[in-house]
Chain A
Amino acid sequence: MSAIPAARSRRFSLGSVSLTVAAITVFIFLYIPLAIIVLYSFSGEVVNVWPIGSYTTRWYGEMWNDSQIREGILLSFRIGLIAASIAIVLGTLTAIAVDRFDFPGKSLLRFCVVLPITLPGIVTGVAMLSFFSIMGMQLSNRTIIIGHVTFCITLILNNVVARLSQIPRSLDEASADLGATPWRTFWRVTFPPILPAILSGGILAFTLSFDEIVVTLFLKGRDATLPLVIWARLRRGFSPEINAAATMIIAVSFVAVLLANRVSKWAGSS
C-alpha cells in the first residue's frame, strides 16, 4: 500500500473523531437537563439536591391527587386533540387546494398559511388577543384552541404538500380513466398515500399544542393548561410534583415524536 491512502485515512479518522466529540457534546447539552428532571421526579427528597439519596414514585401520586395539575393535564390533552383535529381537516384541504389546483393568489395563500409558525408566539398572542376583544369574544378554552390551530395548520400543510408533490398527477388521470369520479379518486388514490403524512403532522401538531405556553398565556380564560400550571407553581416556589409533571410532558412528547417517526417510515415503505 502506498502512503497516500494511509494519510487520507488518518485525516479522515481525525475528522470523524472531532465530529463524534461535537455530536456527543450537543447530545449532552440537549438531554442532560431532561435526564436530571426525570431523575429528580423519582427523588425521595422534598427539595432538589444532588446526589439523590432515595427513590420514590410518590410525586406522581401527589401530582394526580393535585386537582389543579390533574385538570391541567386533561385540559392540555383536550386542547391538543381538538386543535390537531381541526388543523388536520383545514391543513389537508388547503394542501390539496395548493397542490392540485391553480388559482389566483395561490402562492400568497401558501405564504399566509405558513407564516404563523415563523411568527414569535408573543406576536400571535397579542394579535389574537386584540382581535378577540374587537370581536367581543370572551377568552376561554375555545380561544386557546383557535390560537393553537393557527400554527398547527402549518405543520399539517407542509407535511401533506410534501407528500402530495410526490404523487404524480397521472395517477388521478388513470383513476378517472378507469371510471372513478373525482370523489372516489380522492379516497382510493390520493388519500391512502397522504394518510401517514396527515397522521404524523397531526401528532407533531398535538405535541406543539400540548406544551405551548406563550400564545396560551394571552388567550386563556379561567382554566389553565399543564404548562401554565407548572409555570404558575414555580413562581410561588418549588414543589417536587412539578418534576413529575414535567417528566410527563417529556414522556408525551417523546412518545408522540416516536409515533410520528414510525408513521412516516410506514409511509416510506408503502
Chain B
Amino acid sequence: MSMHVEGQGARIELVNLEKQFEGVVAVRNTNLTVQPGEFLTLLGPSGCGKTTTLRMIGGFEYPTGGSILIDEKDVAALPPYRRPINTVFQQYALFPHMTVARNVGYGLEMAGVGKAERDRRVGDALAMVRLANVEKRRPSELSGGQQQRVALARALVNRPKALLLDEPLGALDLKLRKAMQLELKELNRETGATFIYVTHDQEEALTMSDRIAVMNEGRVLQLGTPAEIYEQPVDRFVADFIGQSNLIPGTLEARDGDRCMVRIPTGGLVEARLRDEPAVGASVVVSIRPERVILQGQPAESLDGSIPATISEIVYLGSYNQLVLHATPDLRLIVTAPTDMPARPGDSVHATIPSRYATCFAAE
C-alpha cells in the first residue's frame, strides 16, 4: 500500500485536563503527551474516565478545565468539525441510509473534494482495510466485521493526523478481534497517524500499544510501555488490573533505597522493589506475577523468599499449567508451570519469589 506518509501524525497534549458532569468528576487533572505516530491506549475499567477523555479529544465533550493541544494548537473549545482528527465509534455509527461508498466518501465530500478524486480515495481506503465489492451496499447488509472495516475506512480516508478509537473491537468475536488487533497496528505504521485507543481489555492493550495509560477514577495512574506496565506496576491497582498478580500481605521489615524486606504470613521474608513510601512496620502488599514464581521440590539455598506450600489444584491450559497453591489456609498463590512438570494436587512444594520481579506497595 502506498499510503505510507512519514511524520503525518499529530502530537497531542492534554494539559491539566478536567471534566465534571454536574459536580461529578469524570476526569481529574490529567496530563498526557501522545507522540506523533504513536499508538497509545487508554486502559481502565468502565467509568474510569477513558472514554470521556477520548470524547474530549474528539470534541464531543467540552472540558471543564485545562487544555487539549494538537500540534501545539489548543483545540479544547473547537467543535469536532474543526479538528484535524477522526474517530472510529464503538457501534461504528455508519449512516444507515447511505451506501458504503457514500459513507466512506462523506468526510471528503464535506471537505469539498471532487467526485473523481473522492471515488479514487474511497477505493484506496476500502482496499487498505481489505474490503472489496461492497461500495454499493448498505451498512445493514454487511457483517459486524465488515461494518468495522467501513468505519475504519471512513475515518482513514480523510488522512487524519490522529485517529481516535473507542473500543472499536468490542462487538467482534474473539478470532476476528485478534486479527483486527494486528491490522490496526499495521494501519498505524502505514498511515503514520497517531492512534489513541480506548479499551478495558488489558490483553488488547498489551498487544497493540506503543504505550499504555492505565486509568482509574478519572486519573492516569501509570503511563508506560506494555512491558513497563506489566513488569513494574506503580501501584496495587495497576498490578491487579493488568494481567494476573499474586498479592501477598505482609509487614515492612526493613528498607534500603528502593529495596525492602517484607515479613509474610508464613513467617518467611521476601525481598522486593519498594514502590510507595511506607514506614518500617507498616502493612504492605507484595505483588508477583504467576509466571515469575519459581517452584521447587526442595527448599531453596537461602530460606529467604522461599515459601513452603501445598498444591491444591492444577488447571491444564494447553501451553502451560496453572497451579493453585496454599501456603497457609488464607494465603493462596497462583503460579504457572510447564505441563510436563510432575506435580499432583496434595504435593508439597517450595515457591521462590525472585526479588527482582517482586514489587512492594503500601496496603490500603
Q: Chain A: residues with CB nearer than 8 A to chain B? A: 168, 170-171, 173-181, 184, 188-189, 192-193, 270
Contacts and interface: CB of A to CB of B under 8 A. Distances in A.
Contacts of A179: 81, 107, 110-111, 158
Q: Which of B87, B90, B107, B110 has the most CB of A within 10 A?
A: B110
Interface string B256-273: 000000000000000000
Contacts of A181: 81
Contact of A176 (B59, B90, B91, B155): B59
26 contacts: A170-B89, A170-B93, A171-B93, A173-B60, A173-B87, A173-B93, A174-B87, A174-B89, A175-B106, A176-B60, A177-B58, A177-B60, A177-B81, A177-B87, A177-B155, A178-B86, A178-B110, A178-B155, A179-B110, A179-B158, A180-B81, A180-B106, A184-B110, A188-B95, A192-B97, A193-B96
Nearest to A170: B93
B79 A176 contact: yes
Given A184-B110, A193-B97, A173 B158 contact: no
Given A173-B80, A176-B81, A193-B97, 4 more contacts: A175-B95, A177-B87, A188-B95, A189-B95
Interface in B57-111: 58-60, 79-81, 86-87, 89-91, 93-97, 106-107, 110-111
Contacts of A188: 95, 106
B93 A174 contact: yes
Given A173-B60, A173-B80, A178 B106 contact: yes
Contacts of B110: 178-180, 184
Interface residues of B, number: 23
A119 B95 CA distance: 39
Contact of B91 (A168, A177, A178, A192): A168
Contacts of A173: 58, 60, 80, 87, 89, 93
Given A168-B91, A173-B80, A178 B97 contact: no
A174 B106 CA distance: 10
B219 interface: no
A48 to B, nearest CB: 51
Which 6 A-B residue pairings sit nearest by Cβ, starting from the closest? A178-B107, A179-B110, A170-B93, A174-B93, A176-B80, A177-B87
Contacts of B11: none
B93 A178 contact: no
Q: Which of A173, A174, A192, A270 has the most CB of B within 10 A?
A: A174
Contacts of B96: 193, 270
A218 B161 CA distance: 65
Given A173-B60, A192-B97, A178 B158 contact: yes
Contacts of B89: 170, 173-174
A107 B71 CA distance: 44
Interface string B21-56: 000000000000000000000000000000000000
Contacts of A177: 58-60, 80-81, 86-87, 155
A220 B156 CA distance: 61
Contacts of B91: 168, 170
Contacts of B60: 173, 176-177
Interface string B122-158: 0000000000000000000000000000000011001
Contacts of A180: 81, 106, 110
Q: Which of A168, A173, A179, A184 has the most CB of B within 10 A?
A: A179
A73 to B, nearest CB: 38
A192 B107 CA distance: 18
Contacts of B80: 173, 176-177
Given A176-B81, A179-B110, A270 B86 contact: no
B95 A174 contact: yes
A189 B60 CA distance: 17
Contacts of B90: 170
A35 to B, nearest CB: 41
A17 B95 CA distance: 46
Nearest to B94: A174
A178 B85 CA distance: 9
Contacts of A174: 87, 89, 93-95, 154
A210 B128 CA distance: 57
Contacts of A170: 89-91, 93
B122 to A, nearest CB: 13
A184 B106 CA distance: 11
Contacts of B93: 168, 170-171, 173-174
A174 B107 CA distance: 10
A240 B88 CA distance: 68
Contacts of B58: 173, 177
A184 B107 CA distance: 12
Nearest to A267: B97
Q: Which of A175, A181, A184 has the most CB of B within 10 A?
A: A175
A5 B143 CA distance: 40
B300 to A, nearest CB: 57
A192 B99 CA distance: 13
A179 B87 CA distance: 11
Contacts of A176: 59-60, 79-81
A177 B79 CA distance: 9
A178 B154 contact: yes
A188 B90 CA distance: 21
A183 to B, nearest CB: 11
A18 to B, nearest CB: 41
Contacts of B79: 176
A189 B102 CA distance: 12
A191 to B, nearest CB: 10
A175 B111 CA distance: 12
A188 B94 CA distance: 13
Nearest to B84: A179
Contacts of B158: 178-179
